[in-house]
């Protein structure tokens, strides 16, 4: 378990210090709607523990990494995304990671092109 970072906006959302529209939570995970949605459904699924990216989470808490995918399955079902959805971990500056508390983007509700820009 990695300690909360008081300077981290997503640690503060998990702690309830910053409001967010929660859609799901478990002992190890938390999910909320993105402030700037890029699709009709745009949810961020995060571990309660602070890790900077997906690789660090998988190395430090592999079970929690798997729990993110369990949460995504449940959220996608609850959001009615039977036609499909996209799961994305932006990792590092070139991939447009802006918040360095690992987060899975769950995007759905519209057709999406490939490759992404």
Per CB under 5 A, contacts with Zn ion among 49-68 are 50
86, two tokens: 């996209």
Distances, alpha carbon 83 to alpha carbons 3, 44, 75, 105, 107, in Å: 38, 19, 14, 17, 12
Q: Please tell me the distance from the alpha carbon of residue 109 to that of residue 80, in angstroms, as a whole number.
A: 8
Of the pair 10, 30, the CB lying nearest Zn ion is at 10
- Of 34, 70, 74, 79, the one binding ligand 5GP by CB under 6 A: 34
Question: Taking the complex as a whole, how short is the minimal distance between the CB of residue 33 and Zn ion, in angstroms?
Answer: 18
Q: Which is nearer to ligand 5GP, 36 or 82 (CB)?
A: 36
Q: Rounded distance, CA 79 to CA 85, Å?
A: 10
Q: Is 103 an active-site residue?
A: yes
Distance of alpha carbon 11 from its chain centroid, rounded? 12
16 binds ligand 5GP (CB under 6 A): no
Query: Which residue in 8, 9, 58, 87 binds ligand 5GP (CB under 6 A)?
Result: 9
């Amino acid at each position: 378990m990695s300690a909360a970072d008081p300077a981290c906006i997503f640690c503060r959302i998990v702690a309830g210090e910053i409001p967010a529209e929660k859609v799901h939570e478990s002992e190890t995970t938390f999910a909320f709607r993105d402030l700037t949605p890029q699709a009709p459904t745009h949810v961020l699924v995060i571990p309660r523990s602070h890790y900077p990216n997906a690789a660090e989470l998988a190395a430090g808490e592999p079970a929690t990494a798997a729990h993110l995918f369990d949460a995504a399955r449940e959220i996608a079902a609850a959001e009615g995304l039977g036609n499909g959805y996209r799961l994305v971990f932006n990792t590092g500056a070139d991939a447009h990671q802006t918040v360095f508390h690992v987060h899975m983007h769950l995007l759905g509700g519209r057709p999406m092109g490939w490759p992404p820009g």
